[in-house]
Amino acid sequence: MDESRNGIHRSAARGFSAKADIYARGRPDYPDVIVDWLRDRLGLDDGRSVIDLGAGTGKFTAYLLKTGAQVIAVEPVREMRAKIVQAQPNVVTYDGTATSIPLPDDSVDAVTCAQAFHWFATREALAEIRRVLKPGGKLGLVWNVRDESVNWIKALTAIITPYEGDTPRYANGAWRRVFPADGFSPLQEKHFPHRHVGSPDETIIDRVCSTSFIAALPADEMAKIVTQLRALIAATPKLAGKNTISVPYSTAAYWTEKEG
């Protein structure tokens, strides 16, 4: 992984700092059932503690709070972290990375990484996560994934893929190479159907523009992409002229337990 600023990949450092507002608007939330998953699989409840690692603007943080657990957000991008402080003032928020978590050994019951683990999928990061987890603590990994079986979503992906370069992504599966991991039980997974409902501008334009390597582009290059996206919307009967659309997703949830 090519990292450039404080251990953060250059696409994340530039893109997320520049487009934190668009990220907050354009990213889908999570299905309500994820709260049950957090309780059942990660053991989160009153009296438990959890780190939201790579917390971004705090979209997943809100679901962690619904479990009743004490939530600690760790996010290295200042502009993203500010969104958490603004929206979730009761959450303890730290500047930190997956290889430098500012908490003591054996201090939390769970760590979650939502839309984030592909950025830091290394043995070093897993060792640091294991350090802060209590014995028997759980690590949860969550991603919202667009349904590529839908033709217009395939066309959308074709528009943005040429710009990704070496940017880490969930879709290429490289993050899986660190599993099985020393000191952790076998990785388990569950998938939940989900939909992102909103205007085409929110669910397509803002969503694409919040993608790290798109957000990091010069304004003229981003404008070309937006033009292509608007042409795709206009040419797709399910999207054209609609005030509200429903974009199909699957929410992929993985979990493992600290051993020893």
- Secondary structure of the chain as H, E, C letters: CCEEECCEEHHHHHHHHHCHHHHHHHCCCCCCHHHHHHHHHHCCCCCCEEEEECCCCCCCHHHHHCCCCEEEEECCCHHHHHHHHHHCCCCEEECCECCECCCCCCCEEEEEEECCHHHCCCHHHHHHHHHHEEEEEEEEEEEEEECCCCHHHHHHHHHHHHHCCCCCCCCCCHHHHHCCCCCECCCEEEEEEEEEEECHHHHHHHHHHCCHHHHCCCHHHHHHHHHHHHHHHHHCCCCCCCCCEEEEEEEEEEEEEECC
Residue 65 lies in a domain: yes
**What is the pLDDT, as a whole number, of residue 8?**
55
**What is the pLDDT, as a whole number, of residue 26?**
67
| Segments forming the whole domain that contains residue 58 | 3-146+166-195+248-257
Residue 74 lies in a domain: yes
**What is the pLDDT, as a whole number, of residue 21?**
63
**What is the pLDDT, as a whole number, of residue 11?**
47
Q: What end-to-end distance do the CA atoms of the chain give, in Å? A: 29
**What is the pLDDT, as a whole number, of residue 5?**
42
pTM score of the predicted model: 0.90
**What is the pLDDT, as a whole number, of residue 215?**
87
Residue 203 lies in a domain: no
Those residues of the chain that have pLDDT short of 50 are: 1-6, 11-19
Residue 158 lies in a domain: no
**Total domains, the chain:** 1
**What is the pLDDT, as a whole number, of residue 27?**
81
**What is the pLDDT, as a whole number, of residue 200?**
96
pLDDT digit string, tens, across residues 90-129: 899 999 999 999 999 999 999 999 999 999 999 999 999 9
CATH number at residue 92: 3.40.50.150
**What is the pLDDT, as a whole number, of residue 212?**
84
**What is the pLDDT, as a whole number, of residue 173?**
95
The tokens of 25 are what? 């608007």
Residue 226 lies in a domain: no
Residue 242 lies in a domain: no
Residue 62 lies in a domain: yes
Residue 109 lies in a domain: yes
